[in-house]
Structure 1
């Protein structure tokens, strides 16, 4: 869970009672020491899968946070990598991060729902950010991603299989989402973070509606569940060449 270098209970409480942007500004210096950061094992597996599909030219890390996931496009893109996030605090940490030598790196503060880019990217990745978007926002979000991709470009992100109903993980996520809904019903500004709203079937449907061709690739590093389904998949949504 939280390491000794991570935030304390009071810090987490202050963050939870803030807006999403302000909350992450406060959490940024210690974010990499929390369980909210995407594990290196996931980043390495995604990088390995994309290496087999690449190389790519220009890459974008959507909702890059502290830049932990930006290492992935930095490994597989030859020309440039851009990290975009709306938290100034998270970007300040990202700018101090050491990334693999090679492509040029740029950091941009912007909202993922209104990206300030032309269609110049060959690859867009994102890690752990989709819980901050309500289901009704997905069509607009995916349309924004498509708008910044070159024809033939790919939008890739890992997707963990949902926990089985009745399992401890199922009840933990259900409880977390319930607490957040109560919090947002009685406190302003809202803090949007839900774990059970980004459903695989909805994601694939909305990506297809946004004009993507969607593929699912099992990440073998994480094995399979008892029913044979992958524990973690890589979603690869391609903007058609025409």
Structure 2
């Protein structure tokens, strides 16, 4: 094991406060280091070119949460390997661009392009500082990207509002906030609440020297609604996908046992008011 690997070894994990600058910066390195493992585990379910909203298996081809995308200018933030953007471009007829903070995930996206013979615009960018002009897009979306990994979510909403044209849509999927009160266990062990739903301390993984390796932030349903409305959006609806009875796949804390009783995903749909 290299010195660098030892330095980055997980030494502590739990719910605790950390400085915002450390927690907010951790995602880039974590996803760079874990991109290949993540795609090895979930790549078959995600597909090389498909817009999967959540572990419950909701796909945009059926759900149409983005509305009519043909010819639309679409931005995906926290795109990972850009499977959703690739599908929008090659199947749905959108003019789509993918951004992610992780060079490792975007490199994986470039490899998918090389295998599929496609060309997906891939831009490395923090969702809190998007490198696009005001009003550049008709639709912005993310499926579990960006929002869970920053302490200052209102900055993401403000940037999305800025790059959307008046009337443009903003759709995002996150872990359902109710899940934070329960252990991250897909079986029966995940059915008993062990923490307060209102405990907003992030889940943090640290190295032996105290450096933050990973941070994931909790916001209640009310927090998400307040953030969206406070940024200037009009809230169009909340979607809580049910677990399909024939869906047997386990993904982290998601699975049929918990899914039959507890919501696992929250999808928020909103739009920028017309000028």
TM-score, structure 1 as length reference: 0.72
1:171-210 maps to which residues of 2 (within 5 A)?
171=194, 180-181=203-204, 183=206, 187-188=210-211, 190-194=212-216, 197-210=218-231
Per-residue CA deviations over 1:160-205 (Å, capped at 9, x if unaligned) read 432384563355999xx989447389612x234225x132210110
**SS in structure 2 at match of 1:222:** coil
Which position in structure 2 is the counterpart of 1:67? 82
What do residues 56-100 of structure 1 show as CA deviations (whole Å, max 9, x unaligned)? 50111101112234346447853411111122111111122259x
Instruction: Decide whether the 8 Å contact of 1:133 with 1:192 is kept in 2.
Output: no
1:26 equivalenced with 2:33 (yes/no) = yes
| Residues 10-159 of structure 1 aligned to structure 2 (within 5 Å) | 14=8, 19-34=26-41, 42=53, 45-47=58-60, 48-50=62-64, 53-56=67-70, 57-71=72-86, 73-74=88-89, 78-98=93-113, 105-118=120-133, 119-129=135-145, 130-134=147-151, 137-159=152-174
User: Which whole-Å CA distance do the structure 2 matches of 1:63 and 1:13 have between them?
Assistant: 27
Residue 238 of structure 1 corresponds to which residue in structure 2?
271
> Does the CA contact (< 8 Å) of 2:100 and 2:127 recur in 1?
yes
Contact 2:202–2:216, Cα closer than 8 Å, also in 1: no
Tell me the CA shift for residue 25 of structure 1.
1.6
Give the Cα–Cα distance (whole angstroms) in 2 for the partners of residues 77 and 158 of structure 1.
20
Secondary structure in 2 aligned to 1:163?
A: helix
Query: Is the 8 Å Cα contact of residues 31 and 105 (structure 2) preserved in structure 1?
Result: yes
- SS of equivalent residue, structure 2 residue 63: helix
TM-score w.r.t. the length of structure 2 is: 0.64
Aligned residues, how many?
A: 223
Q: Which runs of 5+ in 1 are unaligned?
A: 1-10
Asked if the contact 2:205–2:215 (Cα under 8 Å) also holds between the matched residues in 1, the reply is no
Cα RMSD after superposing both structures: 4.1
Structure with the bigger RCO (C-alpha within 8 Å, sep 6+) is 2
Gaps of 5+ in 2: 12-24, 184-188, 245-258
Q: What is the distance in 2 between the residues matched to 1:194 and 1:37?
A: 25
Partner Cα distance (1:149, 1:62) in 2: 13
- Paired residues of 1:55 and 1:76 also in contact (CA < 8 A): no
